[in-house]
A and B are shown apart, each in its own frame.
Chain A
Amino acid sequence: MTDASDAVVRLSGLRKDYGDTLALDDVSLEIHRGEALAIMGPSGSGKSTMLNMIAGLDRPTAGTVVVDGEDLGRLNETGLALFRRHTISMIFQFFNLLDDLTTLDNVALAAQLVGTRASQARRRALELLDELGIADRRDLYPAALSGGERQRAAVARALMNRPALLLADEPTGALDSRAGEQVMDLLIDLNQIGQTLVIVTHDPALATRCATRVVEFSDGRVVREHELERTA
């Protein structure tokens, strides 16, 4: 169990309305450093909305989001962009790689946006691709990669700037079972070396294998929360 003072994310009284639709309703939650948290729930339950709030991709209608000591409500768009560069990274169900960049350039991009020199960024990107076992695919474009390879490349890009928090939205949702397994293993490995992880998933198997705690959502509210012994 982690000490409350180790909280990387503090959500309090979070509410999000989309017109007449209530996506989040008075959600309060803490996520601790080094934790692997799985957020589960049916479609439309508010889990992805909450992930977007943590990543600063969307703003709450009410409540506060504090990530790594930063109150996101106080940041303007540029401040949020800098926050995303340095504090969090995301991996998505559909990978979101840029189709006109090679695997290597997709990964290096995150560091280059910070101002890292191209050669230095590429060196680090290559190290990461090597660690994730796809260094030989570095010059290929996303269209030429398998689903699992694309998601590994996305994970490599997410790790480029050494984020305090890694957010994964249905990371295995678009993968076949074998590729899904590989990505799960990768996430577990990352958490085991200290990477804080928040995973949004429908998949109980993924939650059971990767997470140390599960938060279940329904109709925009947290309905259940329990800790797990990782089965991996």
Chain B
Amino acid sequence: MSAVWRAARAAVRRRRLQTAVIGLVALFATAALVVAVALLDAAHAPFERAFAAQRGAHLTIAFDAEASDEDLAAITEVEHVAAFSGPFDQAVLDVDAEHGDLVPGVAPGPLTVVGRDDPGGPVDRVDLWKGAWADEPGEIVLNTVPDPEAPEGLFPLGLELRFPTGGVFTVVGYAHSLTGTADAWVSADQVAELHPTARQMLYRLDDAETDGRVEAAATAIGRAAGTDSLLAVQSYLTLKEAVASGPGVYVPFLVAFGVLGIAMAVLIVANVVSGAVVSGFRHIGILKTLGFTPRQVVWVYLTMVGIPTMIGSALGAGLGAVAARPLLQDAFSGFGFGDDIAARPWTVVTVMIAVPLVVAVSALVPAARAHRLPAAEAIRAGSSPRRLRGQGVQRRLAGAPLPRSVSLGLGLPAVRPGRTAMTMASIVLAVTTVTFATGLVATVSAYQAASDRTDAYQVAVYASGTGDSIEPELDDAAMEAMLRSMDGVEYVTAGLAGSVTVAGHSENADVVFLRGDSATLGYTLVEGRWIAGPGEVAAPSAVLDDYGLEVGDRVVFASAAERVEFTVVGELLAGGPGPEGFFADWRAAEMLAGGYSNRDGEAQYFVRLDEGTDGEAFAASIEAADPSRDAVVNTADASGVLGIISAAVSLTVMLGAVAALGVFNTVVLNTHERRRDLGTLKSIGMTPRQVVAMTVTSMAALGVVSGVVAIPLGMLTHRLVVPLVAEAARIEVPKALLDVWNPLVLTALALAGAALAVLGALIPARAAARISIAEALRSE
């Protein structure tokens, strides 16, 4: 092997430029793939690890409060139940607004409190990450996600939490249940005094891989319990889906980018190696004459390609792991997985091995040509006139009314149709990527604009501060009247945020009750219509999905005092501001009564101003009129989609750079092969500028054709992938958000191919213009 190694090393040294191109292609392709695979893996891995560590509950079932310990113990013998915890008594306490925002992890509305004497146990081993467990009467532990970066004092111990219906509790600890089995825990004795409404049982199953298995176990438990005593069932798969939806948004388009990237890497490597074989015919002949066997020649070429590929892949794997980290952090932060969020070693190693393998396979085809080539033919190559392909094309172009340098350039791609096809394919892939990314960014931006609704209202007015806020100067009616009377005001909508229990579900739902010009708030409807009366609700797709609702369905909301039935009349693209939830008429709040009566200072107001009215000045005048209010100008906030946009842009730039490298390589090969012709052309008076024009034209022509071919492919990719992204984000995308193309954008995209080609061709074209004629003609 030493002769092979020496010959390969010499070839690498002789072809520094091509070696660098192969290395860079491998680097970029590996980096893109590591990011994609790491995200694919991460969509499940951190959750699974953290869930297993906590022995999370595959099934959380609420039974009737009257169910006895004996009854519940009997239904743990059900098939597939591997372990259980409980029964734990469960009560619902109402948190009023005065306390709600003061305590971390507690929001105004119902608070599910579970009585447990121990955070451990066979199922749902709660992570008590600060303070102590609630052992004594009057102590409470709150369920919050650990935040290692939180400032000291953000999670204070010893705080008093006063419930209008359930006494006073002291916060003695903070714990986190990944399964979300409670909002807070007290001792088992204590919960008995809070009038429990249900008994909670937590189950781990021996097989919980699929919805079907979990549902089968739930059905079996329900059958054993009798349907009357079973109140609600929650599968961990719902939770897992919700957790995966963060990174899940990235996965479809990263996979698309990854596939495009690997396809491009294969094309370019095949092109580079073919070129190395073609331009190295004489070298192959010499090797064979020296006694290299055909197999050794193949090994020389594979080694020559393998060295830069392995170096590029190693560097690319490192780059990909580093690039994946912020994306993963962004996607998973807030789920309480600890610091264990990074590309796992196996993902990095797998890609690092896979890319060189793919490269080796794509190099084998042209290397096999070197295997077959007779030594005499190889040595003879280049020493006599060649019958070239594309002569007919040049003949037709010779008479064309074009500058001769341009017409010569247009004919060049026909000389090497295979190389031209591969170069075009890489430009097609790049422009497909650019088109897809442009569409993705446009759709995401349109979604963001629909979420921000900066056109719908320009100023939002909130109650200022928290518990120690200043007493409001104006009550609700006076505030609305004042807003409506101010200059420049077009519409005013009042909103009241609340939280309700949805019948059949243990999780609370957010509801915003609206009054006034709510139809002008500009929520984009995916289906149905906006609310028109107190018995109707509308909600974003993700919220409806959470509760298994569709337009036309009926849903029961329960406050501590009342149960009211509503009809779902509209599915929205997005909700907000604030947590996504249902929208209902103001009068519904009065129907639910209890904590939702209209209290001064709690309402928020959304104000649409006339065009030309200064939002900042308007907001300042409101705060001056009532210092207890904060008036906030509604500005576009792209932070929610910035991750997708930046990932799409980075990967597009990366793949664009790879395609430009492919063009670069083609021009280097063409120039190398036509060195004598370039010398001849320069010797008869072709100027450096004409050489550049000829060389760049040869690639720009390919770029234009490739751009035109690629646009429909990019549009198709966008049409296929964006709905998958939306599905992962649990959004229904209306057609309008997919139709983001206009003639100006399409023209720019068509030119993107030419721009890429020119970019890739320019440097070698300039090098070609500087070729020494004497050397070029001597090299024959």
Contact = CB atoms under 8 A, between A and B. Distances in A.
Contact of B688 (A78, A105, A157): A78
A52 interface: yes
Contact of A100 (B415, B679, B772): B415
B411 interface: yes
Nearest to A112: B404
B682 interface: yes
Nearest to A52: B774
Nearest to B394: A100
Interface stretch (B78-86, B381-389, B477-485, B757-765): B381-389
Contacts of B772: 57-58
A158 B681 CA distance: 12
B564 interface: no
A143 B386 contact: yes
Interface in B369-421: 384-388, 390-391, 394-395, 398-401, 403-405, 411, 415
A78 B394 contact: no
A205 interface: no
A113 interface: yes
A99 B676 CA distance: 11
A142 B679 CA distance: 17
A118 B385 contact: no
Contacts of B395: 101-102, 105
A85 B685 contact: yes
Nearest to B688: A77
**Among A97, A99, A143, which residue has the most Cβ atoms of chain B within 10 A?**
A99
A99 B385 contact: yes
Interface residues of A, number: 42
B683 A113 contact: no
Interface string A131-162: 00000000001110000001000000110010
Contact of A110 (B386, B415, B685, B689): B685
A76 to B, nearest CB: 9
B684 A108 contact: no
B770 interface: yes
Contact of A141 (B384, B387, B676, B680): B387
B693 to A, nearest CB: 11
B687 interface: yes
Interface in A114-128: 114-115, 117-119, 122
Contacts of A105: 394-395, 398
Given A122-B399, A142-B385, A100 B390 contact: yes
B549 interface: no
State the majority secondary structure of interface residues on A.
helix
A129 to B, nearest CB: 15
Contacts of B400: 118
B688 to A, nearest CB: 5
B726 interface: no
Contact of A101 (B394, B676, B686, B690): B394
Interface stretch (A30-38, A86-94, A184-192): A86-94
Nearest to B780: A94
A117 B401 CA distance: 8
B398 A101 contact: yes
B683 A84 contact: yes
B677 interface: yes
A80 B679 CA distance: 13
B684 A113 contact: yes
B404 A113 contact: yes
A81 B387 contact: no
Interface residues of B, number: 39
A184 B520 CA distance: 94
Interface in B669-699: 676-677, 679-690
B388 A100 contact: yes
B684 A110 contact: yes
A211 interface: no
B680 A81 contact: no
A158 B68 CA distance: 109
Given A57-B773, A113-B690, A143-B386, A108 B398 contact: yes
A203 B259 CA distance: 63
B682 A81 contact: yes
Given A57-B773, A81-B687, A141-B387, A98 B680 contact: yes
B676 A96 contact: yes
B777 interface: yes
B401 A118 contact: yes
Contacts of A99: 385-388, 677
A108 B401 CA distance: 14
Contacts of B386: 99, 143
A65 to B, nearest CB: 14
A122 to B, nearest CB: 7
B399 to A, nearest CB: 5
B388 A113 contact: no
A109 B403 CA distance: 11
A82 interface: yes
Nearest to A119: B399
A55 interface: yes
Interface in B741-780: 769-770, 772-774, 777, 780
A85 B684 contact: yes
B398 A81 contact: no
Interface in B606-661: none
B551 to A, nearest CB: 66
B685 A113 contact: yes
B305 to A, nearest CB: 29
Given A78-B689, A112-B404, A113-B404, A96 B411 contact: no
Contacts of B390: 100
B388 A109 contact: no
Given A94-B780, A101-B395, A117-B401, 9 more contacts: A52-B773, A57-B774, A81-B688, A96-B780, A98-B681, A101-B398, A105-B398, A113-B404, A143-B385
Interface of A: 49, 52, 55, 57-58, 77-78, 81-82, 84-86, 89-90, 92, 94, 96-102, 105, 108-110, 112-115, 117-119, 122, 141-143, 150, 157-158, 161
16 contacts: A55-B683, A77-B769, A81-B690, A84-B682, A84-B683, A94-B780, A96-B683, A96-B777, A96-B780, A99-B388, A100-B391, A101-B391, A105-B395, A113-B404, A113-B686, A143-B385
6 closest residue pairs by CB, A with B: A85-B685, A112-B404, A81-B687, A143-B385, A96-B680, A58-B774
